[in-house]
Structure 1
Amino acid sequence: MEISVSSPRQPQQKRSRERVERILSAAKELIARGGSDVMKMGELAEKAAVPIGSLYQFFPDKAAVVRTLAERYNEEGRACIREAIEPVRDEAAFAGAFNGLIDTYYGLFLAEPVMRDIWSGTQADKALQDIDLADARENGAIVAAALRYIQPQADPEELFNRAMLVMYLGTSTMRLAISVERQRGDAMVETYKRLALRELLASS
């Protein structure tokens, strides 16, 4: 999957926003059915019931559609991380919240073919790599902020580095886990949780 760096236009009017939502919803259906590689812009316009010219006004190419979906999934994931991690103030609560969060995230990867399709091409695509890296940085900051309550004497920069690495590896683990048979994938996720907590909760 080859993704360029073209940017979608941000709609201002309600009618335009609704049209963008229809386009993205249609794109999810088409990607779930056959993958983003075979999705065509004409097919997408027809599915979304919008003129092809309008489609290109909002999304200059297929890459922009895929990237917008990727960014939305990241935003949803970040909201889940904040909800689970920000309130914790001790190790036991952190461990429980983190494990529950990873289980939820893994479940999303298993249930959502669009997520699998988007992130399967990340390592081969620079634009999605940049999105992935930015997402790990923001998620790492959320986790590091919670860790500062648990390890107040730790160096904040070290906490952030550990948290960012763990969150980045978490996404990589999910990609690997869904690419193998389910039993092995489940075991990989459990291993990741143990390794991640060991690192995150290690004393400086």
Structure 2
Amino acid sequence: MQDYSNGNAGLLLRRVPKQERSRERIDEILKVSMELIGQKGIDAVTMKEIAALSGGPIASVYQYFPNKSAIIAMLHERYVDDVRLTVAGYTSMIASADEALDVAEKLFDFYYVRMREKPATQDLINAIQADKTLAERDINEIRFQSELLFENTKQFVLEPLKDSYRNTLFLMFNMAAATLRLALMVPAEEAGKIVAQFKSVVRVQASYYFTGRYPEASA
């Protein structure tokens, strides 16, 4: 059961639940909201529909969420918590430059598979990016994730290149999001080529920071 008493969750809610029944009500509202986003897209979802399908009056939704943006923000918060755990898990055990290169690809694959399996997640992220206030939260989260990778791989980077490496990681994380959106919009065969090309670009660029030179092109 989600703890709503601490952290950002308490700031996003109009009223912080103290009883298990109230926490279960919020969980159901969020679950239904995510399902509707996947079925209809974010713009078509209404607070009234969320209330009806989550088994309560609309007042019980507004009791916790002042508007749909607050629901979107809370869904994003949950997504962020899950992704942070994954990124931290992948990056914390890196012991060599080669492993760092592999982890970069594994992280991209993780995002790609997740989006393929849960397309509503992409709709959620699009909705976040369309809202100026929420978009800033998403950028900050991308920066946080890129910093995690930086802190766990900077020991493999040549000293004069570390600042550039940090900036490139932030750029690559943002480019990864754009690449994912494109890959999810085209046929599967083309998507596979796009994904492979992006991972190749990342590997080549990262190799430069670890060795001071770009790898030679294969014949």
2:14 corresponds to 1:9: yes
Number of paired residues? Answer: 199
1:80 paired residue number: 86
1:103 paired residue number: 109
Partner Cα separation in structure 2 for residue 134 and residue 10 of structure 1: 25
Comparing 8-17 and 108-117, the one that deviates more: 8-17
Contiguous gaps of at least 5 residues in structure 2: 1-10, 213-219
- Matched residue SS, 2:66: coil
Partner Cα separation in structure 2 for residue 136 and residue 23 of structure 1: 26
2:184 corresponds to 1:178: yes
Counterpart amino acid of 1:11?
V
The structural deviation recorded for 1:141 is 0.7
Q: Is the 8 A contact 2:72 2:128 kept in 1?
A: no
- Matched residue SS, 2:43: coil
Q: 1:10 to 1:162 in 2, by over 3 A?
A: farther
Q: Deviations over 1:28-60 (max 9, x none)?
A: 121122122111111111111133212112111
Q: When the two structures are superposed, what TM-score results if normalisation uses the length of structure 1?
A: 0.87
Q: When the two structures are superposed, what TM-score results if normalisation uses the length of structure 2?
A: 0.82
2:128 corresponds to 1:117: no
Structure 1 stretches of 4+ with a deviation exceeding 6 A read none
- Matched residue SS, 2:95: coil
Q: Is the 8 A contact 1:120 1:175 kept in 2?
A: no
- Matched residue SS, 1:67: helix
Q: Percent identity?
A: 26
Kindly indicate whether structure 1 or structure 2 has the higher relative contact order, using CA contacts under 8 Å at least 6 residues apart.
Answer: 1
Q: Is the 8 A contact 2:37 2:123 kept in 1?
A: yes
2:132 paired residue number: 126
2:56 corresponds to 1:25: no
2:202 paired residue number: 196
2:193 corresponds to 1:187: yes
Q: 1:135-154 to 2 correspondence within 5 Å? A: 135-151=141-157, 153-154=159-160
Q: 1:33-44 to 2 correspondence within 5 Å? A: 33-44=39-50
The structural deviation recorded for 1:163 is 1.5
Counterpart amino acid of 1:174?
L
Q: 1:147 to 1:158 in 2, by over 3 A?
A: same
Partner Cα separation in structure 2 for residue 125 and residue 23 of structure 1: 21
